[in-house]
Amino acid sequence: MSDIKNMTEKPKIKKKPILLKDYNGKSIDSLGICRLKVTVKDKVHHLLFTVVAEELESLLGDKACENLNLFKRVYHINHDNSAVTTSNSVDDIVQSFVDVFKGFGVLPYVYKIQLKENAQPVVHPARRIPAPLKDRLKKELDIRIRYSFLRMPFGIISASEIFHRAMENIIEGLEGVRAYIDDIIIWGSSLQEHNSRLTKVLQKIRVSGLKLNKDKCQFGVQELLFLGDKLSSQGIQPDSEKINAILKMKCPTERKGVQRIMGMVNYIGKFIPNLSSKTSCLRELLQKTTDFAWTDKHESEWQQLKIALTSAPVLQFFDPTKKTKESTDASKNGLGAVLLQADDEIWKPVAYASRSMTDSECRYAQIKKECLGLVFGLEKFHNYVYGLPTFTAETDHRPLIAIIKKNLNEMTPRIQRLMMKLQRYDFNLVYTPGKYLVLADTLSRASTQNSENTTEEDVEIHVNLVRTAFPVSDAKSKQIAEETRKDDELEAVTDNMYNGWLVSSSPKFHDIRDDLCVVDGILLKQNRIVIPQSLRQDILHRIHEGHLSIEKCKRRARETVFWHGINKDIEKMVRQCDTCQKYRNNQTKEPMIIPDLPTSPWEKVGMDLFHLNGNNYLVVIDYYSNYPELALLSNMSSKCVITHAKSIFARHGIPQTVVSDNGPCFSSKEWQDFSVQYDFKHVTSSPEYAQSNGKAEKGVHILKQLLKKAADSKSDPYLALLNYRTSPLECGMAPAEILRTTLPSCAKRKGNVKMKQKLKQLKDRQKFYYDRATKHLQPLVRNDVV
């Protein structure tokens, strides 16, 4: 879309949904399609483009490139066998290409230097020329000004890169050939394979117009020097000339002399295990804060280094088909890595790497150092391991195995960024005890100046990015950092992270030490800020802003802050909040408690009062048979209620237990006297909890419905009551049938055993369905708010 905006003549975009994806599989939103005029080599083409909203580079598809004649597809290759030399002699092959080694070559490429649009020319001050040379110099300059380069000179800074690209195009598609600028190497596992590849390369060179200098060429040799290394069937070895140059170097007398030594040593350092520790004394002399003084320890280290250089081990050729393993380790201030490959079940080294850590990296927790070592090794050997179907990486730090299996959002910012760097490699991380990780462990035992390192900068950028995403102002961050320094417990935790963790020190944080890190003086647990003791009360009030519920406060806290016991502190704060208690919802129902079933009819009854259509009624219902009694009250006094209760008891007998609420008529002195006189137990329900007298409440609901329906249909309410009493219940019998009240009795009646079992089953089923939406609550204790 940005390219279209820059056009003077805007095309018409036709809205049409098109599915686009990038190389990662991520969808790209399209705005539609448009047709644009494209001119290539004075030919005009009208191509269809898909327009996207994002700031992406414009691309041409393969069909468009083919239509523009930018490339041509090859569907068949004719092999001209007559042109291939079949001679087994290398000299014969070279003689058949004599023209390749004569004259000057011209590659079929034209290179045009593109200058920046805003490039500013640089004017250098005039060089002083001796007076006798001025006339001759002026004449020479006049001649040069009349001419221009027809061939690209190597003095141009981009010349080597352009020439290397041309060489890569020439040898493209050929096996066993590599080129680096003006150096070409051809190899083969046998003389026949070598000669075949040599013939193909010389043919390509002849066709391209390139010429070779025969005096600088070597054909059919068993070993050669390429890019400073000696390559042979035995592997890779350092150039003996470079080793001799080091052996003949005298002791340096100044810092620049040490720099020259280190320059040569670093060049062949890949052949020397533990190079960084073997040059620690020499590197000290490179520090600007250290006065130069060549002492016995420097001389001793230099002599030992010479021995190591002259007896350097031979590295194996890397073979992507062999089993590959990378060992990494991190010491207090250094990282070490070694790449190994299996050769007849024996692991042999392919390359070594080691470096010291920066000051900030030295303060990492051990888990982060080990992770950093893993990243360092994989990036150092990127050209070997990237693209392998799978390989093994081993570490002597077991917690790293568990960390790498976590989701990225569950890691601390630094480990998170390091793990993101590992995503492109397909490896299996395994644990190996330190005593078996000899090479990597030895390489890591160094505390020298660090080489160029972009990992630390990359990690810190990511950490700062995560830091800026925290929902905390700069002022609050500074306050948290300051209070963290004052907090004895958190200060001890920080000290343990930098200097090694003792189990007896900060035991609360010991189990989560791998999730901790420090950013700008703030202690983090993964992506959550660890709050010091002095600020916790303030943070609790901030979490509870808006008077959110306990669970919402907990979820809010889990996103940003942490301290041990934070959940209990949140629960305590919300439960003690007057506003929350005043407007809280009804608490979750607890599981149903089924009261003991009566053993016979009319043994236990429930009583309640209700008001309907201007009248007051008394309801008495049997707990065993569900048989209801209804009485119309003239008033709500205890005397009136007692009179009707006596009438009902006279018909059915006096129950053993009467359950009612705490209404005025049931809590009066008259009712108490009545219960004593008639010898029944009076039980009241819990205040504000009518469910505890559920039988009576249900009876009120049933009788209210009967009276409402009778009034609406203008039918006899007493017939409706009769029909209910004689209708079968779920147990198969009617309330009147269960009650069997022919004569009133004060004696204990015998119940039906089968009936009791049915009633018990019904109660159990009722409890089962009720309990599905309940949970057990904490028991109440003294001083709890209810």
What was the pLDDT predicted at 241?
A: 57
What was the pLDDT predicted at 642?
A: 94
443 pLDDT higher than 60: no
616 vs 746, more confident: 616
**Residue count (the chain):** 786
Answer for the pair 516, 497: CB distance below 8 angstroms, yes or no. yes
Sign of CA dihedral 141, 143, 146, 151: negative
Answer for the pair 603, 748: CB distance below 8 angstroms, yes or no. yes
What was the pLDDT predicted at 468?
A: 62
Q: Where are the alpha helices (DSSP H) in 171-231?
A: 191-208
Highest mean pLDDT: which of 166-180, 331-345, 670-684?
A: 670-684
The whole-angstrom distance between residue 41's C-alpha and the CA centroid of its chain comes to: 50
Highest mean pLDDT: which of 56-60, 264-268, 417-421?
A: 417-421
449 vs 234, more confident: 234
For residue 391, what pLDDT band results from cuts at 50, 70 and 90?
Answer: very high
Report the distance separating Cα 89 and Cα 191, nearest Å.
9
77 pLDDT higher than 70: no
Helix (H, G, I), strand (E, B) or coil at 174: coil
699 pLDDT higher than 50: yes
Query: Average pLDDT for residues 620-635, to the nearest whole number?
Result: 90
On average, the pLDDT of the chain sits at 80
**Annotation: CATH topology of 235-311:** Alpha-Beta Plaits (3.30.70)
Q: What is the pLDDT of residues 742-772, one digit of tens each?
A: 344 444 455 566 666 777 777 777 777 777 7
Answer for the pair 710, 699: CB distance below 8 angstroms, yes or no. no
Report the distance separating Cα 196 and Cα 177, nearest Å.
12
Answer for the pair 348, 266: CB distance below 8 angstroms, yes or no. no
What was the pLDDT predicted at 582?
A: 80
**Annotation: CATH topology of 324-458:** Nucleotidyltransferase; domain 5 (3.30.420)
For residue 429, what pLDDT band results from cuts at 50, 70 and 90?
Answer: very high
Lowest mean pLDDT among 371-385, 581-595, 610-624: 581-595
CA 250-253-259 angle, to 5 degrees, is 80
What was the pLDDT predicted at 466?
A: 59
Could you tell me where the beta strands, DSSP code E, fall in 476-555?
Answer: 516-519, 522-525, 528-530
198 pLDDT higher than 80: yes
Report the distance separating Cα 454 and Cα 656, nearest Å.
88
Q: Token match 């039918």: residue?
A: 715
For residue 600, what pLDDT band results from cuts at 50, 70 and 90?
Answer: confident
Report the distance separating Cα 239 and Cα 244, nearest Å.
9
Report the distance separating Cα 774 and Cα 786, nearest Å.
18
Answer for the pair 310, 247: CB distance below 8 angstroms, yes or no. yes
What was the pLDDT predicted at 658?
A: 93
501 vs 159, more confident: 159
For residue 548, what pLDDT band results from cuts at 50, 70 and 90?
Answer: confident
Query: Average pLDDT for residues 690-715, to the nearest whole number?
Result: 86
- Residue 199's contacts (CB-CB under 8 Å, 6 or more residues apart) are 84, 85, 93
For residue 311, which of 275, 338, 352, 272 has the smallest C-alpha distance? 272
188 pLDDT higher than 60: yes
Q: Where are the alpha helices (DSSP H) in 268-316?
A: 275-278, 280-284, 296-310
Would 324-458 and 604-740+754-770 be classified into the same CATH topology?
yes
Q: What type of residue sits at position 577?
A: C
What was the pLDDT predicted at 84?
A: 43
Answer for the pair 358, 448: CB distance below 8 angstroms, yes or no. no
How many CA atoms lie within 13 Å of 68's alpha carbon, on the beta-carbon side? 18
Concatenating the DSSP letter of every residue in 36-102 gives: EEEEETTEEEEEEEEEESS-------HHHHHHTTS----------GGGS---S-HHHHHHTTGGGGS
83 pLDDT higher than 50: no
Task: Classify domain 474-583 at the CATH class level.
Answer: mainly alpha
How far is CA 312 from each of CA 272, 275, 305, 306, rounded to the nearest angstrom?
6, 11, 10, 10
Report the distance separating Cα 64 and Cα 66, nearest Å.
5
What was the pLDDT predicted at 85?
A: 42
Report the distance separating Cα 460 and Cα 464, nearest Å.
6
For residue 200, what pLDDT band results from cuts at 50, 70 and 90?
Answer: very high
626 pLDDT higher than 90: no
Report the distance separating Cα 532 and Cα 486, nearest Å.
9
Q: Which two structure tokens, joined as six digits, stand for 447?
A: 């505390």
Which of 3.40.50.10880, 3.40.50.620, 3.40.50.920, 3.30.420.10 is the CATH number of 604-740+754-770?
3.30.420.10
Report the distance separating Cα 88 and Cα 238, nearest Å.
32
213 pLDDT higher than 70: yes
Q: What is the pLDDT of residues 14-43, one digit of tens each?
A: 888 787 877 666 778 888 888 888 888 788
Report the distance separating Cα 553 and Cα 573, nearest Å.
10
310 vs 411, more confident: 411
Spell out a b/e string for 574-612, using b for 16 or more CB atoms within 10 Å of the CB, else e: beeeeebeeeeeeeeeeebeeeeebebbbbbbbbbbbee
Query: Average pLDDT for residues 391-398, to the nearest whole number?
Result: 90
668 vs 346, more confident: 668
CA 128-133-137 angle, to 5 degrees, is 85
What was the pLDDT predicted at 605?
A: 92
445 vs 280, more confident: 280
For residue 735, what pLDDT band results from cuts at 50, 70 and 90?
Answer: confident
409 vs 116, more confident: 116
693 vs 534, more confident: 534
- Give the whole-number percent of the chain exceeding pLDDT 90: 13
For residue 471, what pLDDT band results from cuts at 50, 70 and 90?
Answer: low
The whole-angstrom distance between residue 482's C-alpha and the CA centroid of its chain comes to: 30
Report the distance separating Cα 239 and Cα 228, nearest Å.
6
Report the distance separating Cα 355 and Cα 446, nearest Å.
8
Lowest mean pLDDT among 166-175, 202-211, 724-733: 724-733
720 pLDDT higher than 80: yes
Lowest mean pLDDT among 370-374, 519-523, 689-693: 689-693
For residue 353, which of 286, 460, 446 has the smallest C-alpha distance? 446
Q: What are the sequence ranges of the domains in the chain?
A: 1-68, 235-311, 324-458, 474-583, 604-740+754-770
Query: Average pLDDT for residues 472-479, to the nearest whole number?
Result: 80
What was the pLDDT predicted at 250?
A: 67
440 vs 259, more confident: 259
Report the distance separating Cα 540 and Cα 548, nearest Å.
12
Q: Token match 């030992």: residue?
A: 304
135 pLDDT higher than 50: yes
What was the pLDDT predicted at 747?
A: 47
Give, as one character, the DSSP assignment of residue 15.
P
283 vs 746, more confident: 283
Lowest mean pLDDT among 227-231, 330-334, 504-508, 684-688: 227-231
Give, as one character, the DSSP assignment of residue 14.
B
What was the pLDDT predicted at 459?
A: 63
Query: Average pLDDT for residues 398-407, to the nearest whole number?
Result: 85
For residue 80, what pLDDT band results from cuts at 50, 70 and 90?
Answer: very low
For residue 646, which of 678, 684, 602, 600 has the smallest C-alpha distance? 678
For residue 245, what pLDDT band results from cuts at 50, 70 and 90?
Answer: very low
Count of helices and strands (H, E) across the chain: 31, 23
What was the pLDDT predicted at 632?
A: 92
- What is the pairing mode between strands 183-186 and 177-180? antiparallel
Query: Average pLDDT for residues 39-56, to the nearest whole number?
Result: 82
Lowest mean pLDDT among 217-231, 710-724, 735-749: 735-749
For residue 311, what pLDDT band results from cuts at 50, 70 and 90?
Answer: low
605 vs 367, more confident: 605
CA 619-622-623 angle, to 5 degrees, is 120
Answer for the pair 415, 246: CB distance below 8 angstroms, yes or no. no
274: left (phi over 0), alpha (psi -120 to 50) or beta: left
633 pLDDT higher than 80: yes
